[in-house]
Protein backbone atom coordinates (compact mmCIF):
# COMPACT_ATOMS: atom_id res chain seq x y z
CA UNK A 1 0.00 0.00 0.00
CA UNK A 2 1.26 3.47 -0.76
CA UNK A 3 0.17 7.07 -0.89
CA UNK A 4 1.09 6.99 -4.59
CA UNK A 5 -1.83 4.69 -5.42
CA UNK A 6 -4.32 7.15 -3.93
CA UNK A 7 -2.76 10.10 -5.76
CA UNK A 8 -2.91 8.25 -9.10
CA UNK A 9 -6.59 7.43 -8.55
CA UNK A 10 -7.31 11.02 -7.58
CA UNK A 11 -5.51 12.36 -10.66
CA UNK A 12 -7.77 10.35 -12.95
CA UNK A 13 -10.82 11.66 -11.13
CA UNK A 14 -9.75 15.31 -11.44
CA UNK A 15 -8.65 15.03 -15.08
CA UNK A 16 -12.06 13.61 -15.97
CA UNK A 17 -13.81 16.66 -14.59
CA UNK A 18 -11.34 19.07 -16.18
CA UNK A 19 -11.95 17.68 -19.68
CA UNK A 20 -14.08 20.04 -21.75
CA UNK A 21 -16.44 17.27 -22.85
CA UNK A 22 -16.68 15.52 -19.50
CA UNK A 23 -18.67 17.81 -17.21
CA UNK A 24 -22.06 17.23 -18.86
CA UNK A 25 -21.73 13.47 -18.35
CA UNK A 26 -20.35 13.95 -14.86
CA UNK A 27 -23.27 16.13 -13.87
CA UNK A 28 -25.75 13.54 -15.12
CA UNK A 29 -24.20 10.38 -13.70
CA UNK A 30 -24.05 9.46 -10.03
CA UNK A 31 -21.96 6.62 -8.65
CA UNK A 32 -18.50 7.83 -9.60
CA UNK A 33 -15.77 6.11 -7.61
CA UNK A 34 -12.20 6.45 -6.41
CA UNK A 35 -10.37 3.27 -5.48
CA UNK A 36 -6.93 2.29 -4.17
CA UNK A 37 -5.49 -0.31 -1.77
CA UNK A 38 -8.81 -1.84 -0.73
CA UNK A 39 -10.45 1.55 -0.13
CA UNK A 40 -13.14 2.89 -2.41
CA UNK A 41 -15.11 6.11 -2.26
CA UNK A 42 -18.39 6.24 -4.12
CA UNK A 43 -20.70 9.12 -4.92
CA UNK A 44 -24.45 8.94 -4.81
CA UNK A 45 -24.65 5.19 -4.21
CA UNK A 46 -27.38 3.70 -2.05
CA UNK A 47 -26.75 1.18 0.73
CA UNK A 48 -29.72 -1.05 1.49
CA UNK A 49 -30.80 -0.85 5.12
CA UNK A 50 -28.84 2.33 5.91
CA UNK A 51 -30.54 5.34 7.47
CA UNK A 52 -28.59 7.84 5.35
CA UNK A 53 -29.61 8.05 1.69
CA UNK A 54 -27.86 9.97 -1.08
CA UNK A 55 -29.34 12.68 -3.23
CA UNK A 56 -28.43 12.87 -6.92
CA UNK A 57 -24.79 13.92 -7.18
CA UNK A 58 -22.19 13.58 -9.91
CA UNK A 59 -18.48 13.75 -9.33
CA UNK A 60 -17.99 17.16 -10.96
CA UNK A 61 -20.84 18.66 -8.92
CA UNK A 62 -19.40 17.52 -5.62
CA UNK A 63 -16.38 19.79 -5.47
CA UNK A 64 -13.16 18.92 -3.62
CA UNK A 65 -14.74 17.44 -0.47
CA UNK A 66 -15.01 13.81 -1.67
CA UNK A 67 -11.42 13.79 -2.93
CA UNK A 68 -10.19 15.21 0.37
CA UNK A 69 -12.17 12.59 2.29
CA UNK A 70 -10.67 9.85 0.14
CA UNK A 71 -7.12 11.02 0.79
CA UNK A 72 -7.76 11.35 4.54
CA UNK A 73 -9.32 7.89 4.76
CA UNK A 74 -6.49 6.41 2.70
CA UNK A 75 -3.88 8.00 4.99
CA UNK A 76 -5.63 6.47 8.02
CA UNK A 77 -5.66 3.08 6.28
CA UNK A 78 -1.93 3.36 5.61
CA UNK A 79 -1.36 3.91 9.35
CA UNK A 80 -2.77 0.47 10.18
CA UNK A 81 -0.51 -2.54 10.61
CA UNK A 82 -1.64 -5.44 8.38
CA UNK A 83 -3.13 -7.45 11.25
CA UNK A 84 -5.46 -4.57 12.17
CA UNK A 85 -6.54 -3.61 8.66
CA UNK A 86 -9.98 -4.22 7.13
CA UNK A 87 -9.72 -6.05 3.81
CA UNK A 88 -12.13 -3.73 2.04
CA UNK A 89 -13.64 -0.39 3.01
CA UNK A 90 -16.34 1.38 1.01
CA UNK A 91 -16.93 5.04 1.80
CA UNK A 92 -20.19 6.41 0.42
CA UNK A 93 -20.08 10.19 0.11
CA UNK A 94 -23.37 12.02 -0.20
CA UNK A 95 -24.74 15.53 -0.14
CA UNK A 96 -27.00 16.16 2.86
CA UNK A 97 -29.19 19.06 3.83
CA UNK A 98 -27.67 21.37 6.40
CA UNK A 99 -24.07 21.84 7.41
CA UNK A 100 -23.91 19.22 10.15
CA UNK A 101 -21.67 16.25 9.47
CA UNK A 102 -23.25 12.82 9.78
CA UNK A 103 -21.33 9.55 9.79
CA UNK A 104 -22.84 6.09 9.83
CA UNK A 105 -21.10 2.73 9.66
CA UNK A 106 -23.22 0.12 7.95
CA UNK A 107 -21.85 -3.11 9.39
CA UNK A 108 -23.56 -5.51 6.99
CA UNK A 109 -21.80 -4.02 3.95
CA UNK A 110 -18.64 -2.89 5.82
CA UNK A 111 -19.34 0.64 4.60
CA UNK A 112 -18.83 4.13 5.98
CA UNK A 113 -21.56 6.60 4.98
CA UNK A 114 -20.46 10.23 5.09
CA UNK A 115 -22.90 13.09 4.62
CA UNK A 116 -22.79 16.85 5.07
CA UNK A 117 -20.06 19.22 6.16
CA UNK A 118 -16.90 20.25 4.35
CA UNK A 119 -14.45 20.21 7.26
CA UNK A 120 -11.94 17.34 7.03
CA UNK A 121 -12.22 14.54 9.55
CA UNK A 122 -9.30 14.02 11.90
CA UNK A 123 -7.09 10.96 11.62
CA UNK A 124 -8.46 9.46 14.83
CA UNK A 125 -12.05 9.87 13.59
CA UNK A 126 -11.17 7.91 10.46
CA UNK A 127 -9.35 5.31 12.56
CA UNK A 128 -12.44 5.02 14.78
CA UNK A 129 -14.67 4.41 11.74
CA UNK A 130 -12.21 1.91 10.25
CA UNK A 131 -12.27 0.10 13.59
CA UNK A 132 -16.05 -0.25 13.28
CA UNK A 133 -15.69 -1.71 9.78
CA UNK A 134 -12.96 -4.14 10.91
CA UNK A 135 -15.02 -5.44 13.86
CA UNK A 136 -18.32 -5.80 11.98
CA UNK A 137 -20.01 -9.11 12.75
CA UNK A 138 -23.24 -10.66 13.98
CA UNK A 139 -25.23 -8.65 16.53
CA UNK A 140 -28.19 -9.60 18.75
CA UNK A 141 -31.69 -9.20 17.29
CA UNK A 142 -33.21 -7.77 20.49
CA UNK A 143 -33.20 -4.04 21.26
CA UNK A 144 -31.41 -4.27 24.60
CA UNK A 145 -28.77 -6.64 23.31
CA UNK A 146 -28.08 -4.56 20.21
CA UNK A 147 -27.86 -1.41 22.34
CA UNK A 148 -25.35 -2.79 24.82
CA UNK A 149 -23.17 -4.19 22.03
CA UNK A 150 -23.42 -0.84 20.24
CA UNK A 151 -21.79 0.68 23.34
CA UNK A 152 -19.13 -2.06 23.25
CA UNK A 153 -18.58 -1.28 19.55
CA UNK A 154 -18.01 2.40 20.36
CA UNK A 155 -15.57 1.50 23.12
CA UNK A 156 -13.73 -0.90 20.84
CA UNK A 157 -13.45 1.70 18.05
CA UNK A 158 -12.07 4.33 20.45
CA UNK A 159 -9.58 1.83 21.89
CA UNK A 160 -8.55 0.79 18.37
CA UNK A 161 -7.97 4.41 17.30
CA UNK A 162 -5.98 5.15 20.47
CA UNK A 163 -3.70 2.12 20.08
CA UNK A 164 -3.00 2.77 16.41
CA UNK A 165 -2.41 6.48 17.00
CA UNK A 166 -0.42 5.77 20.20
CA UNK A 167 -2.36 8.40 22.09
CA UNK A 168 -5.27 8.21 24.55
CA UNK A 169 -6.93 11.20 22.89
CA UNK A 170 -9.37 10.29 20.14
CA UNK A 171 -12.23 11.90 18.27
CA UNK A 172 -12.76 15.14 16.43
CA UNK A 173 -12.20 18.67 17.57
CA UNK A 174 -15.76 18.99 18.86
CA UNK A 175 -15.94 15.49 20.35
CA UNK A 176 -12.51 14.90 21.86
CA UNK A 177 -12.36 11.93 24.24
CA UNK A 178 -9.42 11.26 26.54
CA UNK A 179 -9.14 7.61 27.55
CA UNK A 180 -6.98 8.54 30.52
CA UNK A 181 -9.76 10.81 31.80
CA UNK A 182 -12.84 8.63 31.66
CA UNK A 183 -16.26 10.16 32.18
CA UNK A 184 -17.97 9.73 35.55
CA UNK A 185 -20.22 6.67 35.88
CA UNK A 186 -22.99 7.26 33.37
CA UNK A 187 -26.00 6.14 35.41
CA UNK A 188 -28.32 8.20 33.21
CA UNK A 189 -26.97 6.57 30.05
CA UNK A 190 -27.44 3.09 31.52
CA UNK A 191 -30.98 4.09 32.48
CA UNK A 192 -31.62 5.18 28.88
CA UNK A 193 -30.38 1.78 27.73
CA UNK A 194 -32.80 -0.02 30.04
CA UNK A 195 -35.82 2.22 29.55
CA UNK A 196 -35.62 3.46 25.97
CA UNK A 197 -33.08 1.46 23.96
CA UNK A 198 -34.42 2.72 20.63
CA UNK A 199 -33.29 6.26 21.52
CA UNK A 200 -30.12 5.24 23.33
CA UNK A 201 -26.82 6.94 22.39
CA UNK A 202 -23.98 4.41 22.86
CA UNK A 203 -21.10 6.89 22.62
CA UNK A 204 -21.03 8.01 26.26
CA UNK A 205 -20.96 4.45 27.53
CA UNK A 206 -18.42 3.44 24.93
CA UNK A 207 -15.97 6.07 26.19
CA UNK A 208 -16.01 4.47 29.63
CA UNK A 209 -15.30 0.98 28.27
CA UNK A 210 -12.50 2.28 26.05
CA UNK A 211 -10.92 3.93 29.11
CA UNK A 212 -11.10 0.62 31.01
CA UNK A 213 -9.47 -1.27 28.12
CA UNK A 214 -6.75 1.39 27.76
CA UNK A 215 -6.00 1.24 31.49
CA UNK A 216 -5.46 -2.52 31.20
CA UNK A 217 -3.41 -2.53 27.99
CA UNK A 218 -2.29 0.84 26.55
CA UNK A 219 0.54 -0.40 24.33
CA UNK A 220 0.20 -3.92 22.91
CA UNK A 221 -2.55 -5.15 20.61
CA UNK A 222 -3.22 -8.61 22.06
CA UNK A 223 -6.37 -7.60 23.95
CA UNK A 224 -7.61 -5.61 20.95
CA UNK A 225 -7.08 -8.54 18.57
CA UNK A 226 -8.93 -10.94 20.85
CA UNK A 227 -11.83 -8.54 21.41
CA UNK A 228 -11.99 -8.20 17.63
CA UNK A 229 -12.28 -11.99 17.39
CA UNK A 230 -15.37 -11.85 19.58
CA UNK A 231 -17.03 -8.88 17.91
CA UNK A 232 -16.29 -9.92 14.32
CA UNK A 233 -17.74 -13.41 14.77
CA UNK A 234 -20.58 -14.24 12.37
CA UNK A 235 -22.13 -16.69 14.86
CA UNK A 236 -25.65 -15.56 15.66
CA UNK A 237 -26.99 -14.65 19.10
CA UNK A 238 -29.97 -16.96 18.66
CA UNK A 239 -31.17 -18.20 22.04
CA UNK A 240 -29.29 -15.57 24.04
CA UNK A 241 -31.71 -13.66 26.31
CA UNK A 242 -32.16 -10.00 25.45
CA UNK A 243 -30.46 -8.64 28.58
CA UNK A 244 -27.16 -6.76 28.93
CA UNK A 245 -25.68 -9.45 31.17
CA UNK A 246 -26.53 -12.34 28.87
CA UNK A 247 -25.21 -10.58 25.78
CA UNK A 248 -21.96 -9.51 27.45
CA UNK A 249 -21.45 -13.05 28.72
CA UNK A 250 -21.96 -14.46 25.23
CA UNK A 251 -19.45 -11.98 23.84
CA UNK A 252 -16.95 -12.98 26.54
CA UNK A 253 -17.34 -16.61 25.48
CA UNK A 254 -16.31 -15.66 21.93
CA UNK A 255 -13.10 -14.00 23.10
CA UNK A 256 -9.98 -16.25 23.19
CA UNK A 257 -9.06 -17.57 26.63
CA UNK A 258 -5.85 -15.58 26.86
CA UNK A 259 -7.79 -12.26 26.97
CA UNK A 260 -11.15 -13.27 28.44
CA UNK A 261 -10.18 -12.43 32.02
CA UNK A 262 -8.96 -8.98 31.06
CA UNK A 263 -12.14 -8.28 29.12
CA UNK A 264 -14.19 -9.35 32.14
CA UNK A 265 -12.08 -7.06 34.32
CA UNK A 266 -12.73 -4.14 31.96
CA UNK A 267 -16.47 -4.88 32.02
CA UNK A 268 -16.49 -5.07 35.83
CA UNK A 269 -14.88 -1.61 35.99
CA UNK A 270 -17.28 -0.23 33.39
CA UNK A 271 -20.76 -1.55 34.09
CA UNK A 272 -22.67 -1.45 37.39
CA UNK A 273 -23.40 -4.93 38.71
CA UNK A 274 -27.11 -4.10 39.01
CA UNK A 275 -27.26 -3.26 35.28
CA UNK A 276 -25.66 -6.53 34.25
CA UNK A 277 -28.04 -8.24 36.68
CA UNK A 278 -27.68 -11.76 35.31
CA UNK A 279 -23.92 -11.77 35.82
CA UNK A 280 -23.90 -12.88 39.42
CA UNK A 281 -20.12 -12.85 39.65
CA UNK A 282 -19.43 -9.28 38.48
CA UNK A 283 -18.19 -8.44 41.96
CA UNK A 284 -15.86 -11.44 42.03
CA UNK A 285 -14.58 -10.49 38.56
CA UNK A 286 -13.38 -7.22 40.06
CA UNK A 287 -11.37 -9.14 42.62
CA UNK A 288 -10.47 -12.22 40.56
CA UNK A 289 -10.91 -11.60 36.80
CA UNK A 290 -11.91 -14.53 34.65
CA UNK A 291 -14.58 -16.08 36.88
CA UNK A 292 -17.79 -14.54 35.59
CA UNK A 293 -20.52 -17.17 35.57
CA UNK A 294 -23.31 -17.40 33.04
CA UNK A 295 -26.22 -15.02 32.88
CA UNK A 296 -28.48 -17.74 31.49
CA UNK A 297 -26.89 -20.91 32.76
CA UNK A 298 -24.58 -22.33 35.45
In three state form, how does the secondary structure of 139-158 look? CCCCHHHHHHHHHHHHHHHH
Q: Of 134, 151, 184, which one is at a domain's C-terminal end?
A: 134
State what percent of residues in the chain have pLDDT above 70: 70
Q: Of 134, 154, 176, which one is at a domain's C-terminal end?
A: 134
| pLDDT for 80 beyond 90 | yes
Asked if residue 43 is part of any domain, the answer here is: yes
Task: Quick: pLDDT tens for 6-31.
Answer: 555 555 555 445 544 444 434 333 34
Number of folded domains that form the chain? 2
125 and 226 in a single domain? The answer is no
130 and 160 in a single domain? The answer is no
* Domain coverage including residue 50: 3-16+29-134
107 and 157 in a single domain? The answer is no
Beta-carbon neighbour count of residue 23 at 10 Å? Answer: 16
Judge if pTM exceeds 0.95: no
Asked if residue 24 is part of any domain, the answer here is: no
Beta-carbon neighbour count of residue 235 at 10 Å? Answer: 11
Average pLDDT for the chain: 79
35 and 112 in a single domain? The answer is yes
Amino acid sequence: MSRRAAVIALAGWLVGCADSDAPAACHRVAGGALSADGLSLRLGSRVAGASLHPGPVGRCDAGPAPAAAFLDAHAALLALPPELRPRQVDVHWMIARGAARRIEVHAESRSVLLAGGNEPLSRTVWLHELGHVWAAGARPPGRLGRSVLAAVDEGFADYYAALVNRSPRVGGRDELRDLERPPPPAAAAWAELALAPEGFDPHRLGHGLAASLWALEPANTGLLLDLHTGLASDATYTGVPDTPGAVIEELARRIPNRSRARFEQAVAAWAPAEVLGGLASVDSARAAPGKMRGAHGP
